[in-house]
Amino acid sequence: MAEIIPFKAVRPSADKVALVTTRPYDEYSAAELASWLDFNPFSFLHIVNFAYINQEKIDPIRRYQMVATKYSDFKRDGILLQDEKPAMFLYQIKTKKNNFIGILAGTSLQDYQNNVIKKHENTLQYRVENLKDYFNETRFNTEPVLMMYPDCKELQHWMTKKMLDTPLYDFSTTNRERHVVWKIDDEEELNFLKETFDKFPNLYIADGHHRSATSDLLLKENGERASDNMNYFMSYLICETKIQINEYNRLIHDLNGMESDEFLHILKKDFTVEKVHEYWKPHKKYSFGMYLDGIFYSLTLKNIPDSDNVIEHLDAQILYETILHPLLNIKDLRTDSRITYIPGNKNIVELVNKIDNGEYKVGFILYPSSIEEIKTLADNNLTMPPKSTYIEPKLRNGLIIYEFQ
């Protein structure tokens, strides 16, 4: 039984929504960030990256307080508006390749604590602590947790019908995405959604494990001082069949002292190694692409693990156990400076160029994990290796804001 609730959102005025909303902050290069801040005074980046030129010199708590002040300025100036009535939102994201549709709502921290909401990734405590301090000072969150629900024809039919209504927002962005939002504040519709989700035994976090863990810590640390809103966190709920799971490909700086011929020879112990055509990507599990010295190779695992442990069957884990750790001496996938990751939605040419220009020596291309693997891990309280999946959609910052007041 999964509980969802409407909430009083803060959101941009209709005439400025395309100017206010941004891609996730960490997707901007330093040059892009400076450019957007210089020419667009309405960008939400002015809030989350206030005083960007000298921000590294500012104490974190002071910086978070400045974020809160700038956020209040946007509300005072009418750039951001607070809804008077609690609502949920139907949110469609159309990209070049995909069409995502889901519901923005509050999800229950009690469900999170009781494992009704299931996880498949570990979190880093320092990141959770830092984000908790940020939430405590700013009192808002604009990045929903991406969450999956089981296929439901009744809910899909309702969405299709709702999309015939006049939307609250309908705008395009400079990266050629279209974003359409419908407000849901009718009691009958809200009750339908609540009752539908109440029938689902579980929800699964696809992306946003640190945000959900932070919300949980925020609630616990505030104790009796916690507001009602702190009992929930904002999520984007999408059918598990509609989500897009991409791999994270790996780039390694060197071969750990080996020459290429020696490295290729050692690989043949565990893999069938074959030269393949340019820009080759694996098309099935237990198969990997490798780019080395201007040549693409396919690596096919010779012996599939004889185990019921789903982790041992994950391609990311197999790559780590057979190549990255024993051969290339990559010990910690989160912190080792010799490894870099490229999400699978990027063109493989980017990986090739980084190796051809000498920045890296070898690259590995993985086959994406499946929804079934993610759910099995979560059901068994297991976690994926770091940087195993790059999951879409990625949502706009500053579009719908959840306050902890």
pLDDT band at residue 227, thresholds of 50, 70 and 90? confident
Residue 12: what pLDDT? 98
Residue 33: what pLDDT? 83
pLDDT band at residue 58, thresholds of 50, 70 and 90? confident
pLDDT band at residue 56, thresholds of 50, 70 and 90? low
Sign of CA dihedral 212, 218, 224, 228: negative
Whether 221 has a pLDDT exceeding 60, the answer reads yes
Q: What is the pLDDT of residues 353-398, one digit of tens each?
A: 999 999 999 999 999 999 999 999 999 999 888 889 999 998 999 9
Q: What is the pLDDT of residues 70-97, one digit of tens each?
A: 999 999 999 999 999 999 999 999 998 8
Whether 124 has a pLDDT exceeding 90, the answer reads no
Average pLDDT score over the chain: 93
Whether 352 has a pLDDT exceeding 60, the answer reads yes
Residue 125: what pLDDT? 87
Across residues 325-347, what is the average pLDDT? 93
Percent of the chain with pLDDT over 90: 81
Residue 50: what pLDDT? 57
CA distance 192 to 130: 37
Domains and CATH numbers, the chain: 4-244+392-403 (3.90.1530.10), 245-390 (3.30.1760.10)
Whether 158 has a pLDDT exceeding 80, the answer reads yes
Q: What is the pTM of this model?
A: 0.91
Percent of the chain with pLDDT over 70: 98
Whether 53 has a pLDDT exceeding 80, the answer reads no
Is residue 91 within 8 Å of 181, Cβ to Cβ? yes
Across residues 270-278, what is the average pLDDT? 94
Residue 386: what pLDDT? 84
